[in-house]
Amino acid sequence: MTHLIDAASLAAALTASTPPRVLDVRWKLGGPPGAQEYAAGHIPGAVYVDLDTELAGHGLPTDGRHPLPTPEDFQDAVRGWGLDDGDEVVVYDDVSGTSAARAWWLLRHAGFASVRVLDGGLAAWRAAGGALETAANIPERGTATVAYGSLPTIDADSAAGFPAAGVLLDARAGERFRGEVEPVDPRAGHIPGAVSAPTTENLAADGTLLPADVLADRFAALGVTQDAPVAVYCGSGVTAAHEILALEVAGFRAALYPGSFSAWSNDAQRPVAMGA
């Protein structure tokens, strides 16, 4: 299965009789919603997706900052983007896919078979000479049906025991893993037994994903094999989806801990480890 599409291929696909549905998923941790950036210029035909309200639900602090939306709420959002069952979808952002991958993961988890991330994001589109438009796209409401379960997930109890039988990767920046800084969550550090694997290190200098063989070598060096289960978490389950994308490109299947460290660190009964 192809999980990425380059800018030239997307430009060609958009001229086809049945072009893919394009979703703009611009979002940054602590930053303003991406709606303003979308309004300033987006890929022609793209529909804006609000990560905080459409790709996440709301719950207790122990559910994390971006718990998965309910299937009913996500289906409502998906239909609002104009999606029908069987549609091909391309998602992009302006942070090398680290936000758009949340939409990629959720749509696949919900049963969409063809979802690709624009490799290199909006920067790659611009570099390839791609046009931008400013008019908002409000599509006719779609009819897609959503059923979660196509991708694996784990909960906090599973995350606690995961390192004993597999590899639990922490996709956050190394300084957050080590507990040197913690900008948003109540406690610093990481889940005991986890391995630091910042997802930004899966990217080349131009913001595209590293080649599959290079990614495979990277994950192998972190202890990932075909013989043991792999799971990923981050701060709130957003950039972890990007790590899962990189793992799939490299040939590995991984589970997501949706609550991630934001859920874990809000539960005083859960231990937190510090250091490398």
Degrees, nearest 5: CA angle 5-150-3: 10
Structure tokens at 105: 């993961």
Percent of the chain with pLDDT over 90: 94
Residue tagged active-site, from 234, 238, 255, 272: 234
Please give the backbone phi and psi of residue 168, each rounded to the nearest 5 degrees, phi first.
Answer: -105, 110
Q: Is 234 a catalytic residue?
A: yes
Give Cβ neighbours of residue 132 (< 8 Å, ≥ 6 apart).
Answer: 41, 42, 43, 44, 126
CA neighbor of 205 nearest in space, from 131, 124, 117 = 124
Average pLDDT over residues 90-104: 97
Distances 263 to 174, 212, 220 between C-alpha atoms, Å: 19, 31, 28
Q: Is the dihedral of CA 38, 41, 42, 45 positive or negative?
A: positive
Q: What is the pLDDT of residues 186-229, one digit of tens each?
A: 999 999 999 999 999 999 999 999 999 999 999 999 999 999 99
pLDDT at position 1:
62
Whole-prediction pTM value? 0.96
Q: What is the pLDDT of residues 24-67, one digit of tens each?
A: 999 987 777 789 999 999 999 999 999 999 999 988 899 989 99
pLDDT at position 118:
98
Please tell me the chain's helix, strand, coil percentages from 3-state DSSP, rounded to the nearest 5: 35, 15, 55
H or E element in which residue 22 lies: strand 21-24
Q: What is the pLDDT of residues 144-161, one digit of tens each?
A: 999 999 999 999 999 999
